[in-house]
Each structure stands twice: as structure tokens, then as C-alpha cells.
Amino acid sequence: MIRDHWLYKSTDNGRHKDLPAARHVASPNFSERPAGTAIDVLVIHNISLPPGEFGGCWIDDLFCNQLDPSAHPYFRDIVDLRVSAHALIDRQGQLTQYVAFDKKAWHAGQSCFSGRQQCNDFSIGIELEGCDDQPFTDAQYQCLIALTRHLQDVYPAITSEHIVGHSDIAPGRKTDPGPCFDWRRYKEALS
């Protein structure tokens, strides 16, 4: 069963934070969550660097503050961003983890969920390699579904109603994961 494929390392207090099956690339762009904050929201994003192009090292470089502004004209505008996500699922369904799930990744920016501001404090951010106007791959859905099930096991407050797109928590500012993301397929597979 896919659900049993993912194994977590436990911290001393029994909380799970890392996926050994994932490729690990440590981003410096994270911080501690506010004390006593429950993790109860999963935010789905999309990213491609340069926009509309897939593959390469550019997402890793962005999340690790190593983006070369001379490599592409678009990078000059984003080289100073300090952002991250907890994980990325590439077009082949390969999972990369940048930030431990119990830490605060810098993925949501100015955001609000159910009247609560600063979604980074209480959410997990998953990036899908893609863009608003291209479908995501079967491998990405399979990995995302398996990862979501395990996150829900570890953080049971992440219910179906607490799984949102970046556009849901930052409307007017963000559009991802975009109209090509198949929410119905994803949510039905989780039920």
C-alpha cells in the first residue's frame, strides 16, 4: 500500500518531522513556530523556475539563497527573496524536503485562513513543480496524496477543509496552484 511506503524519523518527543524517502536539501529560510501553535493547515502551491520551465536546480537554489541572477533575466527580480517550502514534488513525483514539518517554512507570505493571519505559523507548505496553465502529472498526484495522508496521520487537525491553495489564503495576490490543479481528483483520493 502506498500509504505504508513513507517512513518518518521520530524526534525525541515522538513527533514526526522528516521523510527519509525524500531527498533532503536544507533551506536556511525557516524559523520556529510560535509556542503552542497547532499545525492544522496544508497549503498547496506551484512553482517553476524560470516561469513555465521545469527541471534544473533553480528551485533548490531559490530556497537556499543561492540563485544566480545572471542565469536568467527573471532571476534578477527574485534573487533577494528569502522563501522556502516544507517540500517540493517535481514533475516525476520525486519529493524534496527543505524544512522540517515542525518548523515554520516561509511559503505563504501575507495570508489569512479562517480569520487567522500569518498562515506560515500554523501551516505546512507543499510546492508542486508546475504552473497555472499546465496540468500536473500522475506521479505528482500520487506523491501528494501519499504525503498528505501521512501528514494527516501526524497532524490530525489537517482535515479536508484545512487543505487549501495558496490562492485561497492570499486571494488577489496569488493564483497557485492554479486552475489546472485537479482538486476533485485529489480530495476524492483522500476520502
The whole-number average pLDDT for the span 19-33 is 90
Q: Are residues 112 and 119 in contact, defined by beta-carbon separation less than 8 angstroms?
A: yes
Count other C-beta atoms under 10 Å from residue 4's C-beta. 8
Q: Write down the domain spans for the chain.
A: 2-190
pLDDT for 21: 80
The whole-number average pLDDT for the span 16-38 is 86
Show which residues are catalytic: 127
The whole-number average pLDDT for the span 99-107 is 97
Cell of 87: 517540500
Residues 102, 124: Cα–Cα separation, whole Å: 9
Q: Whole-prediction pTM value?
A: 0.91
Residue 20 has pLDDT above 90, yes or no: no
Q: Please report which confidence band the pLDDT of residue 4 belongs to, taking 50, 70 and 90 as the band edges.
A: very low
The whole-number average pLDDT for the span 69-83 is 97
Considering only CA atoms, which of 99, 66, 96, 67 is closest in space to residue 85? 99
The torsion angles phi and psi of 13, rounded to 5 degrees, stand at -90, 10
Q: Look-up: residue for cell 490562492?
A: 167
The CATH number given to 2-190 is 3.40.80.10
Residue 3 has pLDDT above 60, yes or no: no
Q: What is the pLDDT of residues 138-179, one digit of tens each?
A: 999 999 999 999 999 999 999 999 999 999 999 999 999 999
Q: Please report which confidence band the pLDDT of residue 27 belongs to, taking 50, 70 and 90 as the band edges.
A: very high
Cell of 84: 522556502
Reading phi first (left if > 0) and then psi (alpha if -120 to 50, else beta), residue 118 is in left
Query: What integer best gives the mean pLDDT of the chain?
Result: 91
Residue 99 has pLDDT above 60, yes or no: yes
Share of the chain above pLDDT 90, in %: 88
